[in-house]
Amino acid sequence: MNTILSLCFSTVILIFPLAASAQDIREDEKLLSLYFDMGLELEQKVEAATRVPKSLNQVAENVTIITAADIERMNAHNVDDILNRVAGIYVNYIGLDFNNNSLIYIQGSNWEHVVVLLDGVRVNKASVELAWVNMIPVRIIKRIEVIKGAASSVWGSALGGVINIITKDSGDSTKPQVDVVASYGGKKSHDVTAELTGKTANVSYYLYAGSQDSDGLQDDRFYENSPGYGKLRVEMPHDMTLEISGLYSQPKHLATYWPAAGHAQELNDKNTFISARFDALLAEDLNLHAEVFRFDNDYQLIRHTTSLPTTLIHNFINDQKSTGGAFRLDYKRGDHTLVAGADYQRNEIQMTRKYRNSVVDWDPYYPLLAPMRDYYAMDLLTEDISGYYLNGSFVFDRLTVSPGLRWDHISTVSNELISPSLGVTYQIRTDTLLRASVSKGFRKPPAWHLEGDPLYSPSSVNPYLDPEKNWTYQAGAESMAIPYLHIKTTLFHHDVDNTWVTAPDWSIYKMNGDPSQRQGLEVEVRTRSIYHTSLQANVTYTYSDLPEDQTDHSSTVNIILLFDHPEIITAELSGHYLKWGRYLADGKEAKENNSILWNLSINRTLYDSEHLGLILFGVARNIFNTSQYTSERGPNAPRYAEIGLKMRF
C-alpha cells in the first residue's frame, strides 16, 4: 500500500509540468462513452470522478451517466426506477409500488457502502449510512452520475460507490418558461409537477413544486409527498457567481405490510436541504470554489398491528442535523487539471423510541419491552468529519493518467484514513478506449453502531468496530469498432478487510470479521438507431466470497428497446431481470427472485411550437403481472397503467 501511496502523491506533484507540454488529443477523438449520442462526436462531462467537470474519455473509473432525455422517456416517479436500469446496480425494493423506498447495492456491495450526493453534498442518514433516494423529485434532475467501486480518494467514506444527482440549471431567458406534468393511474395514484425557469438581469432562477399521492397498488401501501425545490444564481462582477438552492421533501408511506407477523410499518421521512455555492475565476486557469450546506433529516418509523383497531408497537424517531462546508481550487492548463480541496461535516443525531404499554404474547421481537419506559431518548450522538484531497488528470496525447489522494479524520475513529487511487485511459484508436483503475476505499462505522442504544438494542452497539477497508481493481474497454454497435465491458474485483459480520449468536450485530471478496463482470451494448429503432442492454454478474466460507452469486439483466420518431411516437419497452444471491433474498431461492419484469412507456407529441408544447404519455408497468421481490414482507405491485400530459408554455 505504501508503494501505491507514494506513487499517487509523486505523480500528482511531478507529472503536471511534464503533461503541460504534451500534444493535446485531437478534438475528433474525444467521442467515447456508452451514453453519447453515437451519431455525433460529443463529449460528456462527469463531475463525481474529481469534483470538477471532466471528459468521460479521460475518466478511468467505471462511470455511468443517466441523462435528462433518458429520464424523460421513462416517465418514472422515483429515482430508484431510474437506477434500476444501470449496469452494476442492484435495487432491492422494500415493496415495489407507485413509490416507496429501497436499498441500493453496487457490484454486490452492502447498501451502507453506497453514498448518495445531491449536487455533491452527502444526503445519507448519518446514523446508519442509509440513503433513500425517493426524497429527491425526479423532475428536478439534470443528470445522474454513478461511480462504481471505491471512491474514497475523492469523497471520503465511499467503499462501494457514489451516486451523484445533479439538479437542473437555472433559466437563461428573460422570458419565463413554465412546464407542467400531470399523470393519473390505478388506486387513485397521481403525480403533478410544475416548474418555472427564467432570468432577470444578472439573476436566474429555477423553481419546482410537486404532489404525489397514491392509495397503494399492493397491500394498501399508500404514498404521499409534496416536495418543493428552488435554485437562484447570481452573476457577479469579476467572473464570480453565487448559487443558492433548497429542497423540502417529506415522503410518507406504508413501507411493509406483514399479516403473517401481525404488524405493518409506516415511514415519515422529512428532509430539508439548503446550500450556497460561490465560484470565482482568480486567473484564466485557476478557479476557487467554496460552499456551505445544512441538511436536516427527521425520520420516523411507526410499527403497529395489522388488526383493527391498530395498536402501536413502537415509534422510532431519528433526528439528524448535518452542517458543513467545502473549499476547492481547480487549476486547468489545456486538457490537464489539478484539484486540491478540503471539506468538513458535523452530524448531530438524536434518536428516540416510544413504546406501547404492554407486549402482546404473539410478538417474539419485543420480549423486553414490558419493563421499559414508554418513552426513551438516547444520548445525543455527534460526529465530526474532515477531509483533504488532491487529484489530477494529465493528458499525454492518447494517454490520460489520473492519480488521487485523500486524508480523512473522523472523530469517532481512532486512526487516520488514507485513500489513494490511480487510473489510466488509453485511446488506441478513434473508436476504442481502454480503462484501468485501482483505488482504496473505506466505510466509516455509523454512529448508531458505535454509541447507539445500549438499553433497547445492546447487540447493535460495538464501540470497538473498525472501518471496513477495500481495494477496488477495475479494467475495461469501450468500442464502436463494430458498425452500428457500441460495446462497453468492465471486469471488477474488490478486496475487503475488516468485513462487518454478525456474531453467530447475534450477541453483536456488527463486528469485524475475516476478509471478503467481490468480483464480476459488466457488459453493456447499444445499437445505433436504424429506422428510428435502437436496442440497449446490459448484463452484470457478481460473485461474492464472504466470511465463514459463504459464497454468493447475483446477476441482473436490462433490455431496452426504443422507437424514437418524434413526429409520430416515442415508445420504450424495458425489461429487468434480477437474480439475488441467497443471503440477500431472505436465504431462499424462489421464483419471485428469478424473473423478468416488463414496462412500456409511450410519448406522443400533440403540438410543438416556440410558445407551446403538448405531449401525451402513457405507461404500463409490470405488463405480464410478474412477481419480483426478495421478501414476503414487500411483494411488488401487480400490473397497472397510467396516463398523463406534459405542457410547456
Structural domains of the chain, with CATH? 2-648 (2.40.170.20)
Q: How far is CA 66 from CA 39, 51, 165, in A?
A: 18, 17, 10
- Consecutive 10-residue averages of pLDDT for the chain (649 residues): 41 37 35 34 64 85 92 95 95 89 91 93 90 94 95 94 96 95 94 97 96 92 96 96 97 85 88 97 95 96 82 85 96 92 95 62 45 64 95 94 96 92 94 95 87 68 90 96 94 94 78 92 96 96 81 91 94 93 54 81 95 96 91 87 96
Question: Which residues, at least 6 apart from 37, have a Cβ–Cβ distance to it below 8 Å?
Answer: none
Nearest to 409 by CA among 433, 385, 381: 385
**What pLDDT score does 456 carry?**
61
Distance in angstroms (rounded) separating the CA atoms of residues 608 and 648: 9
On the CB side of 509, CA atoms within 13 Å amount to: 15
CB 385 within 8 A of CB 122: no
Backbone angles phi, psi at 78, to 5 degrees: -150, 160
pTM of the model: 0.90
Give the total residue count for the chain. Answer: 649
Amino acid (1-letter code) at residue 188: K
CA dihedral 47, 52, 54, 56 (to 10 degrees): -20
Distance in angstroms (rounded) separating the CA atoms of residues 86 and 538: 8
Amino acid (1-letter code) at residue 627: S
* Enclosing H/E stretch for 30: none
**What pLDDT score does 587 carry?**
47
CA dihedral 156, 158, 163, 165 (to 10 degrees): -30
Q: Which sign, positive or negative, has the C-alpha torsion 363, 365, 370, 376?
A: negative
**What pLDDT score does 235 carry?**
96
Q: What residues form DSSP beta bridges with 392?
A: 338
Q: What residues form DSSP beta bridges with 562?
A: 534, 572
Checking 238-241 for CB contacts under 8 A at 24+ apart, the result is: 238/280, 238/281, 239/280, 239/281, 240/278, 240/279, 240/280, 240/281, 241/278, 241/279, 241/280
* Pairing, β 114-118 against β 161-167: parallel
Helices (H) and strands (E) in the chain — how many of each? 5, 36
**What pLDDT score does 639 carry?**
95
Distance in angstroms (rounded) separating the CA atoms of residues 30 and 23: 14
Q: 3-state class of 405 per DSSP?
A: strand
Distance in angstroms (rounded) separating the CA atoms of residues 491 and 471: 14
